[in-house]
């Protein structure tokens, strides 16, 4: 099941088609989350400087949430951009 087909378009729920609230665009694609817990998980994964031995980074089937993140979000060179995007999502929540 794909969340959305075009990575350049905003994410939407695959069942109801409603646009997700927790999302922002970057030059590589969209950073989105279903809820604050999901957003925090992504943030902790991206912030981790060493991901070896972490349970979500096994060499078996990549069925965990963080293992299925887009490759550009997993690259260390994009860490600051992803963290800034997550901060923008948090700031938008504080404004509402």
Tens of pLDDT, residue by residue over 16-63, are 888 889 999 999 999 999 999 999 999 999 998 876 654 555 555 556
Tokens of 80: 């600051």
The packing angle between helices 79-95 and 36-47, to 10°, is 150
Of residues 87 and 68, the one with the higher pLDDT is 87
Q: What predicted TM-score, i.e. pTM, was given to this entire model?
A: 0.78
CB-count exposure of residue 1 (10 Å: 0-12, 13-18, 19+): exposed
Q: How many angstroms separate the CA atoms of 77 and 9, rounded?
A: 23
């Amino acid at each position: 099941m794909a969340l959305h087909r075009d990575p350049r378009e905003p994410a939407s729920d695959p069942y109801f088609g409603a646009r997700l609230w927790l999302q922002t665009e970057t030059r590589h694609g969209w950073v989105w989350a279903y809820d604050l817990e999901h957003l925090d998980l992504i943030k902790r994964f991206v912030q981790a400087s060493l991901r070896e031995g972490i349970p979500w980074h096994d060499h078996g089937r990549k069925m965990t949430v963080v293992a299925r993140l887009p490759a550009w979000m997993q690259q260390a060179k994009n860490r600051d951009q992803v963290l800034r995007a997550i901060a923008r999502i948090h700031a938008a929540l504080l404004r509402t």
